Amino acid sequence: MAPTTAEVLPRLRAGALARGTAAQLRLLAVAVAVLVVALVTVLTVEVRQEQRGLQLIGRQTAPEVVATSDLYFALNDMDAQLANVLLVGDETTLGFTRAQALDLYQQRRQQVSRDLQQAAAAAADPVTAQSVRDILDALGRYEALAAQTILLDQQTAHAAGQPPAAALDRYRQATDLLATVLLPAARGLTDHHADTLEQTYEDERGRVLTVRAWLIALAVLLVAALAVLQIHLARRFRRMLNIPLAIATVVAVTLGGAAVALTTSVAEHLRGAKKDAFDSILVLNRARAVSYDANADESRYLVDPDRAAQYEQAFLAKTQQLVTLDGATLTTFDARLDDALQAYRRDQRAVGWQGHLGAEFRNITFDGERPAAETALTRFQTYQLDDRRIRRLVQDGKRQQAIAFCTSYAPGDSNYAFDQYDKALVAVIDINQHAFDGSIQAGERELSRWPFVPAAAGAVILTLLLLGLRRRLAEYR
**For the segment 3-39, what is each residue's pLDDT rounded down to a tens digit?**
555 444 454 344 444 444 567 777 888 898 999 999 9
The whole-angstrom separation of Cα 79 and Cα 314 is 15
Phi-psi region of 49 (alpha: psi -120 to 50; beta: other; left: phi over 0): alpha
Counting residues of the chain whose pLDDT is more than 90, the rounded percentage is: 69
Assess contact for 227 and 241: CB atoms under 8 A: no
**Domain spans in the chain, listed from the N-terminal domain onward:** 23-474
**For 324, phi and psi rounded to 5 degrees?**
-85, 120
Burial 279-316 (b: 16+ CB within 10 A, else e): bbbbbbbbbbbbbbbbbbbbbbbbbbeeeeeebbebbb
pLDDT number for residue 151: 94
pLDDT number for residue 13: 45
Report the amino acid identity of residue 139.
L
Q: What distance, in Å, lies between the first and last C-alpha atoms of the chain?
A: 27
Q: Is the dihedral of CA 383, 113, 185, 432 positive or negative?
A: negative
**For 159, phi and psi rounded to 5 degrees?**
-80, 170
pLDDT number for residue 270: 92
Q: What angle do helix axes 369-395 and 414-448 make, rounded to 10 degrees?
A: 160
268 pLDDT higher than 70:
yes
pLDDT number for residue 17: 40
The CA distances from residue 448 to 47, 61, 68, 451, in Å, are 9, 21, 31, 7
The whole-angstrom separation of Cα 388 and Cα 393 is 9
SS3 assignment for 192-247 = HHHHHHHHHHHHHHHHHHHHHHHHHHHHHHHHHHHHHHHHHHHHHHCCCCCHHHHH
The pTM score is: 0.86
Mean residue pLDDT across the chain: 89
pLDDT number for residue 111: 92
Assess contact for 315 and 297: CB atoms under 8 A: yes
Assess contact for 196 and 282: CB atoms under 8 A: no
The whole-angstrom separation of Cα 193 and Cα 190 is 5
Assess contact for 204 and 270: CB atoms under 8 A: yes
